[in-house]
């Protein structure tokens, strides 16, 4: 497959086209992903998430710069949860990565799902595979918000960095409790601001309360001022320690198995739906939807009929 070959031999244009393909999904995307899959599994995949206003983009940029200076290639995927409606240009519109522009060792892309079934989480998982196969040693997935999407994306990365900032409003607590369990590293960004110590203290006490999931790894709580590139080396070192931790025991294998089992289920679902729709035909499918809307048939019985027909 020509596109796959170009992508594997390092063409940025092919990579960009490939990502557009996986945003849309469908057969062309599946063919590409099938062709490059054997070359995946080498990148260290990092998730960067946290509430709006925590300074995620600045921190991710600073980390990318740090790793570039150390000679590592870095791919960045900025996931925009608002994208199903807007076309997802919000993060892309930001002027970002200035010191890195023109550097062939960095690839930045903001992702939209373009109405793909399975949504942005599926498209992101596929884009990670493309960057991995294209040879990027570090892949960072940056997500805005703290909803279900972020938790889903967390299951597709190796190391999750949760970024906080001092004084972010009163029921951030509720979100933290969930985010807590996906975090491998906490960063309190904008640590020169008032309230940083309080935020660190709160994180520490929450960590003490709910440490069930982390086994032998205690998530460090680090300070940073990403705007001034302060604390970035410490974060990079913590990522390296976490990576070594994963590789040290059975953790990485188990993590990979869980990630792949989940991805595989989603891929089977997507392919099954496509088959069923093709089998039934667009018109008959629409007629069925109309019958469900009129409550003449329930969608569960209708699904059984459709799948029986596809058999």
Closest distance of CB 10 from a second copy, Å: 20
Closest distance of CB 123 from a second copy, Å: 11
Closest distance of CB 218 from a second copy, Å: 18
Contacts 24+ apart (CB under 8 A), 84-92: 84/112, 84/113, 84/114, 84/115, 84/119, 84/120, 86/112, 87/112, 87/114, 88/112, 88/113, 88/114, 91/57, 91/142, 91/144
With binding defined as CB under 8 A, does residue 193 bind a second copy?
A: no
Strands (E), the chain: 44-49, 74-79, 106-111, 138-143, 159-164, 185-188, 221-223
Tell me how far apart the alpha carbons of residues 4 and 18 are, in angstroms, rounded to a whole number. Answer: 8
Q: With CB under 8 A as the contact rule, which of the stretches 5-13, 14-22, 63-71, 83-91 interacts with a second copy?
A: 83-91
With binding defined as CB under 8 A, does residue 4 bind a second copy?
A: no
| Cα separations in angstroms, 208 against 165, 176, 199, 238 | 20, 13, 14, 19
Residue (48 or 121) nearer to a second copy, CB: 121
Phi/psi of residue 178, nearest 5 degrees: -80, -40
Q: Which of 15, 108, 168, 232 binds a second copy (CB under 8 A)?
A: 168
Q: Which of 61, 73, 83, 189 binds a second copy (CB under 8 A)?
A: 83
Closest distance of CB 271 from a second copy, Å: 5
On whether the CB atoms of residues 24 and 63 are closer than 8 A, the answer is no
What is the footprint of a second copy within residues 33-72 (CB under 8 A)? 33-35, 37-38, 40-41, 51-53
Length of the chain: 311
What is the footprint of a second copy within residues 283-302 (CB under 8 A)? 286, 288-290, 292-293, 295, 298-302
Q: Which of 169, 194, 208, 216 binds a second copy (CB under 8 A)?
A: 169
Two tokens, residue 70: 């150390």
Q: How many CA atoms lie within 13 A of 215 on its CB side?
A: 9
With binding defined as CB under 8 A, does residue 149 bind a second copy?
A: yes
Residue (237 or 258) nearer to a second copy, CB: 258
Q: Cβ atoms within 10 A of the Cβ of 14, count?
A: 20
What is the footprint of a second copy within residues 208-227 (CB under 8 A)? 213
Binding mask 85-114 for a second copy (x = CB under 8 A): xx---xx---------------------x-
Residue (197 or 298) nearer to a second copy, CB: 298
DSSP state of 43: S
With binding defined as CB under 8 A, does residue 271 bind a second copy?
A: yes
Q: Which of 9, 101, 148, 218 binds a second copy (CB under 8 A)?
A: 148
- Parallel/antiparallel/unpaired status of strands 221-223 and 138-143: unpaired
């Amino acid at each position: 497959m020509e596109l796959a070959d170009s992508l594997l031999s390092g063409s940025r244009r092919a990579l960009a086209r490939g990502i557009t393909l996986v945003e849309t999904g469908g057969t062309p995307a599946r063919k590409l992903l099938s062709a490059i899959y054997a070359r995946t599994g080498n990148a260290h995949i990092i998730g960067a998430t946290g509430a709006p206003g925590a300074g995620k983009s600045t921190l991710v940029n600073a980390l990318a710069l740090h790793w570039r200076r150390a000679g590592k290639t870095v791919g960045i995927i900025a996931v925009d949860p608002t994208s199903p409606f807007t076309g997802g240009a919000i993060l892309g519109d930001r002027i970002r990565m200035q010191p890195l522009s023109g550097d062939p060792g960095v690839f930045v892309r903001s992702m939209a799902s373009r109405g793909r079934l399975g949504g942005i989480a599926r498209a992101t998982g596929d884009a990670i595979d493309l960057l991995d196969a294209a040879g990027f040693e570090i892949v960072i997935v940056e997500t805005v918000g703290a909803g279900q999407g972020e938790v889903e994306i967390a299951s597709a990365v190796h190391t999750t960095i949760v970024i906080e900032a001092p004084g972010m409003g009163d029921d951030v607590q509720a979100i933290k409790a969930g985010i807590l369990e996906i975090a491998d590293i906490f960063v309190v960004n904008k640590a020169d601001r008032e309230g940083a110590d309080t935020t660190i203290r709160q994180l520490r006490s929450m960590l003490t309360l709910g440490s069930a999931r982390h086994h032998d790894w205690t998530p460090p709580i680090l300070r940073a001022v990403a705007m001034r590139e302060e604390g970035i080396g410490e974060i990079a070192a913590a990522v390296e320690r976490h990576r070594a931790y994963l590789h040290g025991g059975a953790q990485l294998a188990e993590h990979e198995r869980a990630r792949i089992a989940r991805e595989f289920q989603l891929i089977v679902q997507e392919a099954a739906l496509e088959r069923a729709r093709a089998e039934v035909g667009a018109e008959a499918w629409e007629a069925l939807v109309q019958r469900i809307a009129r409550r003449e048939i329930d969608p569960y019985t209708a699904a059984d009929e459709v799948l029986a027909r596809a058999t």
